[in-house]
Amino acid sequence: MALPYEQIIADLKKRIFKPVYFLAGEEPYYIDIITDYIEQNVLDESEKSFNQVIFYGEDTSVASIIDTARRFPMMSTHQVVIIKEAQSLKKIEDLLIYFEKPLISTILVINYKYKVPDKRTKFFKFLNSQGFYFESPRLRDHQVTAWIEKYLMTKGIKTDPSASAMLTEYLGNDLQKIANELEKLLITLKNEKPVITTALIEKNIGISKDFNNFELQKAVGEKNILKANIIVNHFAANQKDNPIVLTIASLLMHFSRLLTYHYLSDKSRNNVAAALKINPYFVTEYEISASKYNAAKTIQVISLLRTYDMKSKGFGDISSEPGDLLKELIFKILHL
């Protein structure tokens, strides 16, 4: 059974160690946190020079790793052996011979980023059955807002739902990038009012609280023609900072959720939030959008978005500027 992140960190803090940690997955954020914690905290500085070894997958071999892992620590209870970028290690499955009889005094950390081992193999099945395996999947877009709110909550910080949505829109699902930007924001917070707002984000990260995909999505959903056109004109004049591909993807997510909303039999706030995988705070936006776009019109919008997505990538239109395509697209949506 794969190890949960929270359990690994809690056990490490209690100095409960496993002989092997195989850390894999597309999301490197948690892999790096666990690896860094072990590297920095298991041994004290006087022990590290003799008992902590770091290899890089591309520059080492399975034989060297096994030889090192089988050594006994010097003047310490443990030895730490870390393999970084282990996805580049040749014949990594040959480590199984060590995994089957690991040295209890060695803590072997396999940092295997951006992928997972073949789960059909004996190699993986053994790791998983022994509780040596941790997997860090990439978060899906709809999970990022909740991750941001949870990250801040653990630090005693509140965030406006609109601020979380803005950060998600701007930063994507790269957790390390998100964490870095959040830490920058935390430094600017006043102790007496620890709340992250859209105004704070605009001031310190450079995201405009008025000109972003989240606000365009809201304006289009409300059929607020004036506001939508102001935002689109800003995007057209600043195409580098507002790629049309990301804008279309944002709108497509909104209208795909809206189509789901139309076919829900139970439109209570909590059920809508669960079905659309959104914060209940945003349910009102879908209620408003549903009053402006019935199911048939929503399907038409989705079709338009897919057509213009192809055009923006050069299929069927190789001459139009992205800004002109976006203006044309938004005009058609607003006048359905």
Question: Which tens digit of pLDDT belongs to each residue from 276-330?
Answer: 988 888 899 999 999 999 999 999 999 999 999 999 888 876 677 889 999 999 9
- The DSSP output letter for 90 is T
Asked whether the beta carbons of 195 and 297 are under 8 A apart, the reply is no
Q: Strand pairing of 20-25 and 106-113?
A: parallel
* Over residues 118-125, mean pLDDT: 94
Report, at the CATH architecture level, how domain 5-135 is classified.
Answer: 3-Layer(aba) Sandwich (3.40)
Which of 61-75, 91-105, 204-218, 226-240 is predicted with the least confidence, judged by mean pLDDT? 204-218
Give per-residue pLDDT as tens, 22-45. Answer: 999 999 999 999 999 999 999 999
Q: What is the CATH number of domain 141-204?
A: 1.10.8.60
Query: Please, are residues 159 and 149 in contact by the beta-carbon 8 Å criterion?
Result: yes
What top-level class would CATH report for the domain 213-334? mainly alpha
The mean of the pLDDT values for the chain is 90
Angle between helical axes of 213-222 and 225-237 (0-180°, round to 10): 150
**In the chain, where are the structural domains located?**
5-135, 141-204, 213-334
pLDDT for 55-109, tens place per residue?
999 999 999 999 999 999 999 999 999 999 999 999 999 999 999 999 999 999 9
pTM of this structure: 0.71
pLDDT bucket at 192, cuts 50 / 70 / 90: low
| 75 alpha carbon, distance to own chain's centre | 41
Predicted confidence band of residue 260 (pLDDT cuts 50, 70, 90): very high
Per the CB < 8 A criterion, the answer to whether 93 and 123 are in contact is yes
